[in-house]
Chains A and B, each alone.
Chain A
Amino acid sequence: MADDRSNLDPDMGLGRFTEPALLILISLAEGEKHGYAMMQDIAATANTRIGPGTLYGALARLETRGWIESVSSDDRRRPYRLTASGAAALTAQLTGMEKLATTGLRRLGVAT
């Protein structure tokens, strides 16, 4: 599916959880966080509220895919962290988006 696409895969194969997944990856790029901390961080940085169901739908997909992993913890609020492949995927995705954004802004005459 995403095998021979360019580095900007529109949905990373995550379906309706694409955008939440991206926000989670960005949130975890800062350091390990548990679910509630991710929600707060995403609300603060992206100005978007992610519902608990959406959050865990995306978390489960990201974990299955190996892009994030849980950190063993005594607390029920289990923290997650980015894996190496997750960091690589996020880098690829964000680079692609940046290229796209640059192109769009240049065409608009906003950026040089």
Chain B
Amino acid sequence: MTGPRGTRLLRLFPKAWREVYGAEFLALIEDCPPGPRDAIDILVSAVDARLRPSAWIAASRQEMQRERGLVLQAASGPAPVPEPGTRIRVGGVAAGHSTPVADRRFSRRTFLRNALVGSVVVAAGGSGAAIFAYSSPEPTSTFGSRIVVPISEVPAVGADPVKYADGRFWLIHNDDGVLALHWRCTHLGCTVPWEPADATGPKFRCPCHRSGFNRLGERVEGPAPRPLDVMNAWVTTEGDLVVDTGNIIVRETYEPSQAVRL
């Protein structure tokens, strides 16, 4: 089971790294099959190994020998030198307490590679975050749920509509009852405000293409093809009004049955 998966994870590491640590790393993965968090852990380490090869491999043979010379001079005790021939290692050198020379190097190549990988990571992260933000539901909005409006907040018959931004609807009260009008223009979807001082009398007036709708949401002007949509609403046994903002009803005309009697 873990065979192909382990091999795939191992392939994330640079070739030189795999030559040294590949076999035992696969054995380890077989001993403890990696979960999702381990997979991320392995990915991060693989990226690190690619970005900072100097941390695990001596930059060049010359430096390796220079370091070895330093260490052999400095080491007083039995400084263990890797047994030759046991294993192909490019950089298995005792460095004592001194920081390896390779660590201090920051070559143009390193810089360019870091810049390239960094910008790719930033670009991928940015678009990933955008996709995630776009595809996850808006956490602060209650739009789509049922909104309870206490009966005391329902506007009086004939009064100006009241806006419920949480549910994206206008509440209006006429002789037939209460209507919850979805505030989205049926033309191209702009948010429609109530304009009590409109030139041709109070109405919902779309700011985008000047569609006008009367109190009942019926189109009276402009390019909108149909009345504002209504949201399904009802009165609870306690007498409160419930508006289901997840149940939007498309209509061709106003009918008194669309209004909720209080």
Residue positions of A touching B, CB distance < 8 A: 1-3, 13, 15-16, 34-36, 39, 51-57, 59-61, 63-66, 69-70, 72, 75-78, 83-85, 88-89
Contact = CB atoms under 8 A, between A and B. Distances in A.
Contacts of A61: 55-56
A63 B86 contact: no
Contacts of A15: 55
Q: Which of B28, B77, B104 has the most CB of A within 10 A?
A: B28
Given A36-B32, A70-B87, A72-B86, A64 B79 contact: no
A69 B82 CA distance: 7
B232 to A, nearest CB: 51
Main secondary structure of the interface of A (DSSP, over half): helix
A78 B48 CA distance: 22
A13 B24 contact: no
A53 B26 contact: no
16 contacts: A2-B97, A3-B99, A35-B27, A52-B32, A52-B34, A53-B41, A56-B28, A64-B91, A66-B95, A69-B80, A70-B82, A72-B86, A84-B75, A84-B80, A85-B79, A85-B94
B24 A66 contact: no
B41 A63 contact: no
A89 B42 contact: no
Contacts, number: 122
B26 A64 contact: no
B234 interface: no
A77 B92 contact: no
A64 B93 contact: yes
Given A54-B41, A65-B100, A77 B24 contact: yes
Q: Which of A3, A54, A63, A65 has the most CB of B within 10 A?
A: A65
Interface residues of B, number: 49
Contact of B29 (A1, A34, A52): A52
Q: Which of B46, B77, B87, B94 has the most CB of A within 10 A?
A: B94
Nearest to B56: A60
Contacts of A84: 75, 77-80
Interface of B: 17, 20-21, 23-29, 31-32, 34, 37-38, 41-46, 48-49, 55-58, 71, 75, 77-80, 82-83, 86-87, 91-100, 103-104
A52 B30 CA distance: 11
Nearest to B21: A56
Given A64-B55, A64-B58, A34 B44 contact: no
Contacts of B86: 70, 72
Nearest to B37: A51
A54 B39 CA distance: 11
Contacts of B48: 16, 57
Contacts of B78: 84
A83 B77 CA distance: 11
Contacts of A70: 82, 86-87, 92
Contacts of A59: 21
B97 A39 contact: no
Contacts of A65: 94-95, 100
Contact of A66 (B17, B83, B93): B93
Contacts of A3: 98-99
